[in-house]
Chains A and B, each alone.
Chain A
Amino acid sequence: AQSVTQPDIHITVSEGASLELRCNYSYGATPYLFWYVQSPGQGLQLLLKYFSGDTLVQGIKGFEAEFKRSQSSFNLRKPSVHWSDAAEYFCAVAAGGSNYKLTFGKGTLLTVNP
């Protein structure tokens, strides 16, 4: 069965600093990978997704992620964090090559200091 590990439960960065959120997955075949963001009391918003092709994926709000098969990783990055980026971030992998059954990591809570 597939699984996703987000090693960092909580990360704090200063506004304007760079950000990297880690995600490791376990899946036997080529994974479909996603990053979602959730603001407090809100639903999930898709930041970006990887299905195939270029391993560097650009998303919304200035985020990008790089798929590294050799490391089973799909880390999320942003060069300069804004206070509005404070939220919880979830990495997910799609089961069985589909994109309708997702396995989520436990999330990383991002705090942004002024």
Chain B
Amino acid sequence: NAGVTQTPKFQVLKTGQSMTLQCAQDMNHEYMSWYRQDPGMGLRLIHYSVGAGITDQGEVPNGYNVSRSTTEDFPLRLLSAAPSQTSVYFCASSTGLTGNTIYFGEGSWLTVV
């Protein structure tokens, strides 16, 4: 059971480039989300999805796009990377049922130069 898998683990981008962070889960979870972690800021919610075809914005959505075409996958797209998007990104999934655990991926370290 792989859980939540994020790729790539490390990436360096130039300002203005685009890229997609991949997230896949094999637990048939309905709920998936993306967080970013910055020093001294904890984790902040970027976007989330409550099921295939349904997404919504979190606390810090600007500069990011998401889509959810399947239950398993929830990619995060940076259309035009900026240095302010240098961060560690975590994907998470859960069933959404009260009391159930939220599972996190191992993180993707992104540097924008």
Mark A residues whose CB is within 8 Å of B.
4, 9, 32, 34, 36, 42-44, 46, 49, 51, 90, 92, 97-107
A32 (CB) vs chain B CBs: closest residue: B98
Report how far A97 CA is from B49 CA in the complex, Å.
16
Return B30 CB to nearest CB of chain A, in Å. 8
Are A42 and B106 in contact (CB-based, < 8 A)?
yes
Q: How many residues of B contact A (CB 8 A)?
A: 27
Report how far A9 CA is from B31 CA in the complex, Å.
31
Q: Which of A9, A42, A99, A104 contacts B43 (CB 8 A)?
A: A104
Return B47 CB to nearest CB of chain A, in Å. 10
Q: Which of B41, B90, B94, B104 contacts A99 (CB 8 A)?
A: B94
Binary per-residue interface labels of chain B (36-66) against chain A in the complex, 1 for a CB within 8 Å, 0 otherwise: 0000111111001010000000110000000
Q: Which of A46, A90, A92 contacts B101 (CB 8 A)?
A: A46
The yes or no answer to B102 lying at the interface (CB within 8 A) is yes
Are A43 and B101 in contact (CB-based, < 8 A)?
no
Are B96 and A99 in contact (CB-based, < 8 A)?
yes
Binary per-residue interface labels of chain B (16-48) against chain A in the complex, 1 for a CB within 8 Å, 0 otherwise: 000000000000000101010000111111001
Return B43 CB to nearest CB of chain A, in Å. 4
Mark B residues whose CB is within 8 Å of A.
31, 33, 35, 40-45, 48, 50, 58-59, 90, 92, 94, 96-102, 104-107
Are A43 and B105 in contact (CB-based, < 8 A)?
yes
Report how far A28 CA is from B75 CA in the complex, Å.
32
**Told that A102-B102, A107-B40, A107-B42 touch, could you supply 16 new A-B pairs with CB distance under 8 A?**
A36-B104, A43-B107, A49-B99, A51-B98, A98-B31, A98-B98, A99-B94, A99-B96, A99-B98, A99-B99, A100-B31, A100-B48, A100-B96, A102-B43, A102-B45, A103-B59
Return A87 CB to nearest CB of chain B, in Å. 14
